Structure 1
Amino acid sequence: MEKVKPKKHLGQHFLTDLSIAEKIAKAVTGHQGIKKVLEIGPGMGVLTDFLMLGPWDLYLVDIDTESIQYLHQKYPSLSEKIIEADYLKKDFGSIMQGPYAVAGNFPYNISSQIFFKILEERNMVTEVVCMLQKEVAQRIASPKGNKDYGILSVLLQAFYDIEYLFTVPPGVFNPPPKVNSGVIRLKRNHVQQLACNEKLFFRVVKQGFGTRRKTLRNCLKSFGLTDELKEDPILDKRAEQLGVEEFVSLTNKLQESWNQ
């Protein structure tokens, strides 16, 4: 089998260190008793080899035709579970026919988009173990009050318990990226629904971080704040100072002020 050439336009950096691949595979726990695992962007199957050793019902998705052909040759037993598709554009809830975990070495250029898709399918995705750019990994796992804390931190922490597992240097990839990578694990928490209007919550979080240095009073002006709400001390804070519960509370206060 001819090796697959990494393609720059797909953000491909193939992992070459087997011990790291094994470590990532072993970090998948089967949270909530789930056995189905979808690997995003398997490339030449370095991580897949170790996932195959686990008790998982494994599916692979890759957008790269050359990788798909290679994977079919390498894993004939997976045949129909090797899917040529753009993960961002397909409904994997129906393909997987039930809850599933996600694993993978995510392409850096679309890692945030992958997480927004996971958020949409959060009631199907029980666990995520992935490698991505270290800064993004740290942001997702960061607690409130930290300079890395941002939109993805709040939205993902609302529905997942998140751990930063370890850092991976550039030299273990082909080609080496210009930055360090980080491996994180997300496990779906018990929150089925936030105690507020979820669409509004998403809007408030995104708008709140729109201008990080400004107070929420300034960031949320376009929401039509009532005079009473403008006096609320929560609006003296900046978005990075609020945890999930405080954003829920702020969302409810906004909704109530409009309904008065």
Structure 2
Amino acid sequence: MDVKKALKYMFFSTLGFACMNATVKYLKDVNSYQIVFFRSLGSLFFTFGFLLKNKIPIIGKHNTLLIARSVVGASSMLLFFMSVKYLSIGTAVSLRYTAPIFAAIMAVFLLRERVKPLQWLFFVVSFIGVIVLKGLDKHINSYGLILVLIAAVLSGLVYIIISKIGKREHPAVIVNYFMVTATVLGGVLSIGNWVTPKASEWPFLFSLGVFGYIGQIYMTKAFQAASTNIVAPLKYIEVVFTAAIGVMVFQEIYTIWNLLGIALIIGGLVLNVWYKSKYIK
């Protein structure tokens, strides 16, 4: 176990995802369908290359589950990108991270998993954070809030489907299915809603896939370098990086209620990761 390496990898991973989030915010005049298309198309270059280089079969063995994961994941991505147009990027990312809560609730009914009482307490803390954000901060856009929470629910369902797939498929195959589906979905939906990007926006569109891939690959390396209980809480640094970029680049303002709500959401989730890794085997 190499903790220093894991910290370094998660730094680059969270920075990569934060840059992708900021790029989506910058492209506010570009249709969300196009953003999904370019983000996915950019990553396909890397996933296809990896599969071909390592001679891994592109077509998986459990196509129904792979397609289901891809459709649900692509829908979640689209709704999240749409929500960023209505919310500050730090708030949107924080709310998207409620996905593990919805995953745990669905796992109780779909996978017959048990959730410990203390875990429910941590989830309640996170939900209180959501209530603080919406109930005490009148600047939160209701439409954006609904979009990102639905995205989080769908993301939670993705966790369930991946759990069903287990280790029967190579991770790169799962990601590749996701990127292919998202590219097709974004491309088809863009046909009747195309907004021609400005010359200055094209480089940012093409950078989406690069940032997404950097975030994904370094996160994978981090989990390989150290144990989950050390690495998993570090992914929430993405919220800090994203919010900082929002303040510096987009002049976003975070009220005391914003910060309290975000702290409660992330705090509850970090405590849950810590508890699961330490006491649940």
User: Considering the TM-score relative to the shorter chain, is it more than 0.5?
Assistant: no
TM-score tier, shorter chain, comes to: under 0.3
| TM-score where L is the length of structure 2 | 0.23
Could you say which structure has the higher strand fraction?
1
Could you say which structure has the higher helix fraction?
2
Which one scores higher on RCO, CA 8 angstroms, separation ≥ 6?
A: 2
| TM-score where L is the length of structure 1 | 0.24
